[in-house]
Amino acid sequence: MHKSSGRALAITPRRALGSLIILAGLAVLLNDLYQFLVDQNPRVHDALLAGSVAAFATALGTVPVLLSQTFSQRISDTIMGFGAGVMLAACAFSLVIPALASAQELGAGPWGAGSIVGAGILLGALMLLLLDRAVPHEHFVKGLEGPSGRAMKRVWLFVLAITLHNLPEGMAIGVAFGGTDAVGAQALATGISIQDMPEGLVVATALRGVGYGKWSAVALGIASGLIEPIAAVFGAAAIGISAGLLPWGLAIAAGAMLFVISHEIIPESHRQGHETSASIGLMVGFVVMMLLDTALG
């Protein structure tokens, strides 16, 4: 009786109303914060739109799972490799090279610009490494990582792992739109959105593979992309504080993405013995993003 009354208490109208009030208050606060950021830097609005498109692309990628389509592990690994290739090219052509150019425009010499960008890349990787160590999460193949992971429900461990993947992508979009190269920023956002579609598919497929229903897998796949517009807004807002932060922001975003590629995506795509397929996917993804950056940038 005590347990059932506890369950009843958890779903009382009063608690539901309280939760709705809290959510409504949070929504108002976030809207006020967003309006403040837009007033300070109009590019924040463009960053939010670009981040939202990337989030929508992630959601779009989950549709085949909703239609009960299944894919072999080899195809999933190839898709992951493709995403890694897109991110690698985005790091090189849309983040590192513009960061070097921005540092030189601010007066740094070749060695100074290289030092700034190199330090930023290492700082971005360090930030993701610290998050990786501090936040409990679970990889689809490698298993649990982080402190006290076994005490959490596996579904949230997956969500946290996916969030770590998408955080640097959203940050990269925001930093790019916070700069002065709108065309290059659009190329970067387009490339990230392209790779987010197969990423959404891989996430939802992997969740289905470990026992989640298709609706739960799709919902979590969609939720995994929601960090991108949030990170994009704060990335653009940070760059709006000072133009001198632009090379640092671009380099930090590149370092964070490189860490995710090396630490997460490539090992996962190679773990099932499909290294060749994953590597071919990586090469194709790299070329697609390179062409996209050349055509749009």
Q: Which residues does 24 contact at the CB level (< 8 Å), separation at least 6?
A: none
Region for 223 from its dihedrals, namely left if φ exceeds 0, alpha if ψ lies in -120 to 50, beta otherwise: alpha
More confident residue, 226 or 35: 226
- pLDDT at 149 (0 to 100): 44
CA quadruple 248, 249, 254, 256: dihedral sign: positive
Q: Which residues does 78 contact at the CB level (< 8 Å), separation at least 6?
A: 269, 274, 277, 278, 280, 281
Give DSSP secondary structure letters for 210-236: TT--HHHHHHHHHHHTTHHHHHHHHHH
* 3-class DSSP assignment, residue 143: strand
Q: How confident is the model at residue 297 (pLDDT cuts 50, 70, 90)?
A: low
Asked whether residue 44 carries a pLDDT value surpassing 70, the answer given is yes
Asked whether residue 19 carries a pLDDT value surpassing 70, the answer given is no
Name the DSSP class of 245.
Answer: G
Q: How confident is the model at residue 291 (pLDDT cuts 50, 70, 90)?
A: confident
Q: How confident is the model at residue 6 (pLDDT cuts 50, 70, 90)?
A: very low
- List pLDDT tens digits, range 54-75: 999 989 988 888 887 667 778 8
Mean pLDDT of 271-278: 88
Which of 93, 117, 94, 122 has its CA nearest to residue 105?
117
Q: How confident is the model at residue 13 (pLDDT cuts 50, 70, 90)?
A: low
Whole-number Å distance between alpha carbons of 162 and 220: 9
Provide the total of helices (H) and of strands (E) in the chain, helices listed first: 14, 2
- pLDDT at 210 (0 to 100): 64
CA 110 vs. chain centroid, Å, equals 31
Whole-number Å distance between alpha carbons of 121 and 97: 12
Q: How confident is the model at residue 150 (pLDDT cuts 50, 70, 90)?
A: very low
Mean pLDDT of 129-156: 56
Asked whether residue 247 carries a pLDDT value surpassing 80, the answer given is yes
Element (H, E) at 139: strand 137-139
Q: Of 10-19, 31-40, 200-209, 258-267, which range is least confident? A: 10-19
The one-letter code for the residue type at 123 is L
The one-letter code for the residue type at 84 is A
Mean pLDDT of 92-105: 89
Q: Is residue 54 within 8 Å of residue 181, measured between CB atoms? A: no
- pLDDT at 126 (0 to 100): 92
Whole-number Å distance between alpha carbons of 32 and 43: 17
Q: How confident is the model at residue 2 (pLDDT cuts 50, 70, 90)?
A: very low
CA quadruple 54, 56, 61, 62: dihedral sign: positive
Q: What distances in angstroms separate CA 161 from CA 87, 135, 168, one per listed residue?
A: 17, 9, 13
| Tokens 């930093």 -> residue | 175
Q: How confident is the model at residue 9 (pLDDT cuts 50, 70, 90)?
A: very low
Q: Is residue 172 within 8 Å of residue 88, measured between CB atoms? A: no
The one-letter code for the residue type at 79 is I
Asked whether residue 153 carries a pLDDT value surpassing 60, the answer given is no
- pLDDT at 121 (0 to 100): 94
- pLDDT at 209 (0 to 100): 67
Q: Is residue 208 within 8 Å of residue 76, measured between CB atoms? A: no
Whole-number Å distance between alpha carbons of 40 and 241: 9
Most distant CA atoms of the chain, gap in Å: 74
| Tokens 């109208």 -> residue | 13
- pLDDT at 3 (0 to 100): 43
Q: What is the mean pLDDT of the chain?
A: 78
Cα angle at 159 between 157 and 164, to 5 degrees? Answer: 95
**Most confident segment among 38-42, 76-80, 96-100:** 96-100
